[in-house]
Structure 1
C-alpha cells in the first residue's frame, strides 16, 4: 500500500504578494493585469468570497469585487519561492511529481527522515513551509494520487486531511462526479443525462454499461468511482509543451483574433527561451462559444526564429480553421510542442538558455 501526499500551496501567487506587502494583508487581492483581455492568475481567499477565481477574465473579477486590489504577476518571484518549497519536499523523499509551481505529489511510502506515518511527513513539510517562507500549504494523504489531491482541497486553507485505505469509498461516495479527474463540464453533463451526479451513483452503474457509453474512458470512470488508481508518482516529468492562452470576456469572430494571437505568441516566445530544448511543432488552440475545442498544428522544416515569425505561423494555422464564418470564439491559445531530447547549440536563437524572461530587477524572494 502506497502512502501518497499531495501538497498544495494556499492561493500561492496572491499569498506571496500579501506576504511581501503588508498593506495587502486581509484585502481581496487579484493577481492579474487589468484589462478586458486579461485573465486572473490567482485570487486571495478574501477575493474568492466574492466569486473571483483563477482563469476568470479580469474584467469579470473587477465586476464581482470592485474593491479588489489588482497586482501584476511576478513570475520570477513565484518561481524562486517554488524552488524553496521543492527543497523542503526533497528533505523527505526523492519521489516528487510537480504539477505546477504550487503543487506536487509525493510518494512517502519510505521517507528520508524515518518518520512513522505519512501524516507526520505532511505535518513536517507544512511546518517548514510556514517557518521558512511565512506561507501556508494544505495537504491531502491517501493511498493513491487522485484521492490525495481531492483530500488536499478538503480543509483549505492551511489544512490537512487523511483518507485511510478503508475510508476511500466512504470519502468518495457523496462527492460530485465532477470531482473525479478528467470529468470536465461536458462529461459531467453527459453523466447527469444518465442521472449520475455523485461518485456513489457512478459506482452503482455496471461497468459494461459505462464501457458501452464511453468506451475505454468508461472503464477508467468505473475504476475511479471505486477509488482505484495505480498511477505511480513520476519524479521527472519532462515538459512536453509550452503554451499561453486567453479567455475572452466577450466572444469574438475568427478574423478578430489576430492581435491576441500575436500577443500570445510573444508570451510563448519569451517562455520558450528558458527551455534548453528545441520545439518542432507550433500549435493553435481555439474554443468556440459553445465550448467546442479544436486545435491546429504545424511542424515546419524551419521553426520560427522570432516572436514575429511564431505569430505568423500561428496566424496561418488560424486560416486553416474551417467553420461557419459567423462562429464565435471564447478562447484562443498558442503553443510550442514536441521538444527534441538534445539541447541546441549555444547559437540557437530560439531557445537561449540564458535569456531573461523576468524583469531586470526582480524583488528578492
Structure 2
C-alpha cells in the first residue's frame, strides 16, 4: 500500500508553542516525573546535546538558562487527536502510532487529488504551521517513515523506483527497532543500512533473534506491516476542580463519584458502552498522575 508518513519532531514542545506562541525562539525544556527523578520529555530544537528521558540535572548542566515547563499529557493527547482528525479530512485511513507520528493510506485518492504533491499540499493546509511537519511518501510504512525522517522541517520527500541508493548511507539509528539492538549494531561496526543489507540473513537472526529478521528486511526497504487505521470512538470528558488543596482520600473519591455520575448521565439511553476509562489529576504544583482502565 502506498503510504504517507507525517512526523512532527519535538511534538510536545511544539504543542506548548501552539498555546503559548511567545515560547518560540526561547530555550525551553518540557519535564515530567515518572518516578522519583525528574526527566526531560522534550525541548526546543536549538538545545543541543539533549535527548528524551535525560535526567533534568544533567540537561541543566548543559543549558542552565533554559525555561522549564511541566508536561501536560492530557493536552498533548488532545492535540494529537485533533491532528489525526485533521488528517482524516484528507484520507479516511489514518494510523496514529505515537505522539507526533502518523501514517495515511493514500491508495485510491487519485480521484480527489491529481498527484502526490496535491495530497501533501492538502495535509500541510490542515496542520498548524507551528508543527512544521516532515512528510514522506513511499510504497510501505517504514520507507515513508525514513523518507520523512530525512526531510527538513516543513519539508517533503517522495520515494519512487529503486530506493537502494536512498537507503544505503542512512544511519542505523533511523531503524524503528529497540535501542538495545541499535547499540548492538554499533558494537558490531554496522553503522549504515547499506552495511546491514549486505549481510546474509543468518548471522543477523542468530545475533538479534526475531528482531534480526526485521532489521534485515527494513535495511533492504521491505516492510509488510499493514496500516492499522484508528477506530472511530467517541470521547466523553468531564472535569472538576477542588476549591482548595486536599490530601483527603474521601474527598477525592467523592469527586470521582461525581465525575462518573456525569459521564453515565451523558450515555444513559444511547446504547453506548465504555471501552476505556482514563483518570488524571493535576496538583497545585503542576505535577500529574494518570491511570487508564480498559474494560473487556
- TM-score in terms of structure 2 length: 0.72
Q: CA separation of 1:12/1:214 partners in 2, compared to 1, >3 Å: closer, same or farther?
A: closer
Aligned to 2:17: 18
Moved more, 145-154 or 35-44: 35-44
Shift of 1:117: 2.7
Aligned to 1:114: 112
Deviations, residues 107-160 of structure 1 (Å, cap 9, x unaligned): 1112387113334222311222136xx532221211111121122121232222
Q: Would you say the 8 A contact 2:2–2:106 is kept in 1?
A: yes
1:228 to 222, 237, 244: 222
2:194 to 185, 195, 200: 200
Q: Distance in 1 between matches of 2:12 and 2:183?
A: 32
Shift of 1:10: 3.5
Q: CA separation of 1:194/1:32 partners in 2, compared to 1, >3 Å: closer, same or farther?
A: closer
Q: Would you say the 8 A contact 1:10–1:158 is kept in 2?
A: no
Q: How does 1:81-100 map to 2 (within 5 A)?
A: 81-100=79-98
Q: CA separation of 1:151/1:359 partners in 2, compared to 1, >3 Å: closer, same or farther?
A: farther
Q: Distance in 2 between matches of 1:171 and 1:98?
A: 25
Q: Distance in 1 between matches of 2:164 and 2:185?
A: 19
Aligned to 2:175: 180
Shift of 1:172: 1.0
SS in 1 for 2:46: helix
Shift of 1:31: 0.9
Q: How does 1:119-134 map to 2 (within 5 A)?
A: 119-130=117-128, 134=130
Shift of 1:4: 0.9
Q: Would you say the 8 A contact 1:52–1:65 is kept in 2?
A: no
Q: CA separation of 1:112/1:62 partners in 2, compared to 1, >3 Å: closer, same or farther?
A: farther
Unaligned 5+ runs, structure 1: 239-269, 275-341, 345-350
Shift of 1:15: 1.6
Q: CA separation of 1:61/1:214 partners in 2, compared to 1, >3 Å: closer, same or farther?
A: closer
Q: How does 1:39-188 map to 2 (within 5 A)?
A: 39-47=39-47, 50-111=48-109, 114-130=112-128, 134-166=130-162, 168-182=163-177, 184=179, 186-188=180-182
SS in 1 for 2:108: coil
Number of residues paired by the alignment?
A: 247
SS in 2 for 1:46: coil
Q: Distance in 2 between matches of 1:107 and 1:32?
A: 34
Give the root-mean-square deviation of aligned CA atoms. Answer: 3.2
Q: CA separation of 1:233/1:224 partners in 2, compared to 1, >3 Å: closer, same or farther?
A: same
Q: Would you say the 8 A contact 2:87–2:126 is kept in 1?
A: no
